[in-house]
Structure 1
């Protein structure tokens, strides 16, 4: 008689184990769902924020001028127009107030160049570095710190 009661007990134990496995599977599925949902919500919030506006560039234009170049082959000319990209309005105002002296320094620098070196791309890159170096020497005393970021050529003709 003990045998008939053992079968329902075994059946009940298997059903309980099956229910426990099923509950464990459901609980782990819910946990994974909430974990992935919480992880995905962070980038969505970051994408909703508008990207920061890039700063508006400030340019100081140096009006074009013509310079005689040094040459062994006769008269050579350089027609050049350039702009200076600056970092703030204070630098822009300072350069505008002292433009005659800046143009004079540029003319002195350019008149010492030869046409052969300026027609090459490497010569133009070197010239940009030298123009940036012009502002290492103070224009006035005392001089505020100048925020000059780049020299940009708008016209460049060697003849």
Structure 2
């Protein structure tokens, strides 16, 4: 009779372990799901960040003579804006606008007509305009945060 009693105790112990394991697993799943719900509730409550207002520096349109292989007179009428990242850059560009316009005039008058009529040529020109500002306008000068060149008017004649 000793054997059935021992066997009953082991079944009782195995049953108890199964119940404890099930309860522990249930508590773990509940806590995990609760923490995920709290995280998603926090995400929903926080307002999405708004993008900062863009800052542009408009450069008045001007006309330049272009190079032409056939020695004909060709003109470029261009208006553009520079997209800047901060107000300090805008202030510096506005303060040095005559020099900015002069640099642009020199760059634009050195362009060839054939390159400017293609979209890739316009993109290349925008990149060259950005490179103009690698050289400081004044000494010392903080780094200018110019992020883009936007053409508002572009006529090649």
TM-score for the superposition, normalised by structure 1: 0.79
How has the CA–CA distance of structure 1 residues 66 and 36 changed in structure 2, closer, same or farther, with 3 Å as cutoff?
same
State the match for 1:33 in structure 2.
30
Instruction: Name the larger-Rg structure.
Output: 1
State the match for 1:59 in structure 2.
56
State the match for 2:116 in structure 1.
118
| Aligned CA-pair RMSD | 2.8
1:53 Cα deviation after fit: 2.4
How has the CA–CA distance of structure 1 residues 22 and 141 changed in structure 2, closer, same or farther, with 3 Å as cutoff?
closer
| Deviation beyond 3 Å, 4+ runs, structure 1 | 19-31
State the match for 2:76 in structure 1.
78
Q: Deviations over 1:13-63 (max 9, x none)?
A: 8xx68x856676566435433332223321221221112222221100001
Whole-Å Cα distance in 2 between the matches of residues 24 and 130 of structure 1? 69
Matches within 5 A, 1:12-31: 20=16, 25=22, 28-31=25-28
State the match for 1:5 in structure 2.
none
TM-score for the superposition, normalised by structure 2: 0.80
- Structure 2, unmatched stretches of 5+, are none
Match of 1:142 among 130, 140, 143: 140
Whole-Å Cα distance in 2 between the matches of residues 138 and 28 of structure 1? 66
- Structure 1, unmatched stretches of 5+, are 3-8
1:64 Cα deviation after fit: 0.8
